[in-house]
Amino acid sequence: MAGGPSAKNLLCEYAENPVAIDVLSPRLSWAMEHRERDQAQSAYQILVAGDPTQLDADRGDAWDSGKVQSAQSVNVVYAGARLESGQTY
């Protein structure tokens, strides 16, 4: 949605674009950026993919959380397919 809210400061295990992680279920965090005042997150959907074209098509081949009704945006635990060593997601 043009001009709508967007996620920023995307973190995985407290790091932005980590080169490697050493946990099977990393924690994901983000901050919402809104153009209007007094806006808050009420739901989220996380897509994780091993191929950027999957994300471009709004698909997560490793994990699609589906729409989750929650204001949580800190330490959301990854619950998708087993992450493979040496793979970029």
pLDDT 10s per residue in the chain (89 long)?
A: 455 678 899 999 999 999 999 999 999 999 988 878 888 899 999 999 999 999 999 999 999 999 999 999 999 999 999 999 999 99
Q: What is the pLDDT of residue 5?
A: 76
Q: What is the pLDDT of residue 78?
A: 98
Break the chain into its structural domains and give their ranges.
1-80
Q: What is the pLDDT of residue 7?
A: 87
Are residues 80 and 35 in contact, defined by beta-carbon separation less than 8 angstroms? no
Q: What is the pLDDT of residue 36?
A: 81
Three-class SS state of 29: strand
Residues 6+ apart with CB under 8 A from 14: 27, 29
Q: Which two tokens stand for residue 14?
A: 């407290």
What is the rounded CA–CA span in Å between residue 72 and residue 44? 8
Q: How many beta carbons lie within 10 A of that of residue 9, not counting itself?
A: 11
CATH architecture, range 1-80: Sandwich (2.60)
Indicate whether this model's pTM tops 0.95. Answer: no
Are residues 27 and 15 in contact, defined by beta-carbon separation less than 8 angstroms? no
